[in-house]
Structure 1
């Protein structure tokens, strides 16, 4: 399956791709990280799309990056997310997403796509963080942003039937912790959602991709 835009958490830096023939179809490759072996990459493969970092980007939220995407029918804000553990456990994973989205809430009234590895699920709401997964879902709902997966498959948070992560690559330890949240105006254009299978992807990663297609 081809794609116009890819968001890849735990992505190697562009310099490490230089000798690969996979670099040739790439139009833009924005990368954020300190370790060249593992950052977050945002890649365009369609020359019609252009991405740039939003001027409000706050490096305190290192791996929650607001980007401006232009070139399609309508410009939109893309938040690329790789939620991580933190020295202060209260700010780990969903805690940092909660804080970041509160900081960037002035952007959320624009058409938005929020995508990436949240390392979060409603089943972990009992863990003490700055906000729970359910808090973030409700906050986004209040600004008309919803999970494309849950809308498309008509499933509730915490009751997902299609995992996106297999802990230590074990099929017996599946979790749904990767998400695509979209504004209502974009959600109305949703064509389909697909989650990669364990069999196809486990040799490459402990995560499987989420594909989203919208009608332009």
Structure 2
């Protein structure tokens, strides 16, 4: 099964043909529109099997799957945390789509990893979090961000998810350390000299067979984030 996570930086209903070239089975998309407000037959055909959450109808989180992929929403209270979509895929494994975006004013970078930690703490005993699941999306987490508390919270998040045997797959496959990533997933203001690694996939170490990160030459024309493309 092939899965893609991508922050489209808005306008996904116009940009989605580019990501369809990956021919994935599941797409986890951040900053995308609610299909119910889009008058586009092509987009509606693409979004025939999906879940979407958001307050701004043009900037939410969506999970889109091919029609032959069964995705069932898991009944978990988000406890006011934004934005998470928990689903069961093909009655086989759990998938949590993530776009950390806390509901608060001012500087948020301290709290991005805390959102995931809080969600985990709320539901770690529900059975949803387990060693066979996948957590992926735009975490907005990179220990290189200026605020030291953010970095501390990133390591706390990693430690919490490790309780269920989940690891950051990029770091597991490359052997690189947090903050030393050689391949960015995000370019601040779409500038090549402002790279960060904000998008992540957590799973059991051997669940992901292959991981590719989109090339900046192609994707910066569409978004400040690169897609993460992987197979299980």
Report TM bin, short chain. Answer: 0.7 to 0.9
2:104 to 84, 87, 90: 87
2:213 matched to which residue of 1? 195
2:117 matched to which residue of 1? 98
> In the aligned structure 1, how far is the partner of 2:56 from the partner of 2:109?
24
Alignment CA distance shift 1:199-1:66 (3 Å): same
Contact 2:109 2:147 in 1 (8 A): no
User: Structure with the greater relative contact order (CA < 8 A, sep ≥ 6): 1 or 2?
Assistant: 2
Alignment CA distance shift 1:63-1:130 (3 Å): farther
2:50 matched to which residue of 1? 29
> In the aligned structure 1, how far is the partner of 2:84 from the partner of 2:110?
13
List gaps (5 residues or longer) in structure 2. Answer: 1-21
RMSD between aligned residues = 2.3
Instruction: Answer with 122-131 or 10-19: which moved more.
Output: 122-131
2:83 matched to which residue of 1? 63
Alignment CA distance shift 1:130-1:209 (3 Å): closer
1:188 CA drift (Å) = 1.9
Instruction: Answer with 83-92 or 156-165: which moved more.
Output: 83-92
> In the aligned structure 1, how far is the partner of 2:216 from the partner of 2:150?
30
List gaps (5 residues or longer) in structure 1. Answer: none
1:196 CA drift (Å) = 0.3
Which structure has greater strand proportion? Answer: 1
1:90 CA drift (Å) = 8.8
Structure 2 counterpart SS, 1:80 = strand
> In the aligned structure 2, how far is the partner of 1:59 from the partner of 1:138?
22
2:23 matched to which residue of 1? 2
1:25 CA drift (Å) = 4.3
Contact 1:76 1:110 in 2 (8 A): no
1:172 CA drift (Å) = 0.9
1:103 CA drift (Å) = 0.9
TM-score normalised over the length of structure 2: 0.80
Q: Deviations over 1:122-162 (max 9, x none)?
A: 22484446960011111212220011111122211111111
Contact 2:110 2:147 in 1 (8 A): no
> In the aligned structure 2, how far is the partner of 1:190 from the partner of 1:169?
28
TM-score normalised over the length of structure 1: 0.86
2:192 matched to which residue of 1? 171
